[in-house]
Amino acid sequence: MPRVDAAVEIDAEMHLPDSYIVSPNEKVVIYHRLLNLEEQHLIDNLVEELK
């Protein structure tokens, strides 16, 4: 389960998968709606870069 050490701002039309645990240490804005596995992969890569 990936961990995101950040508070995530999400527009009403967006969602964050249940597999993410969010903590309020930092603030990350995710602009892309997670519509498919390819986008999920991009978000996972971003999370890895932020670690």
Per-residue confidence (pLDDT) for residue 27, from 0 to 100:
46
Task: Please provide the size of the chain in residues.
Answer: 51
Helices vs. strands in the chain: H and E counts, helices first: 1, 4
- pLDDT at residue 42, as a whole number: 75
pLDDT digits (tens, 9 = 90+) for 1-51: 455 544 455 544 455 554 455 555 544 444 444 445 666 777 778 878 887
36 neighbors 16 (Cβ within 8 angstroms): no
Taking the domains of the chain in order of start, what are their residue ranges? Answer: 3-50
Any idea what the Cα angle at residue 27 is, between residues 22 and 31, rounded to 5°? 90
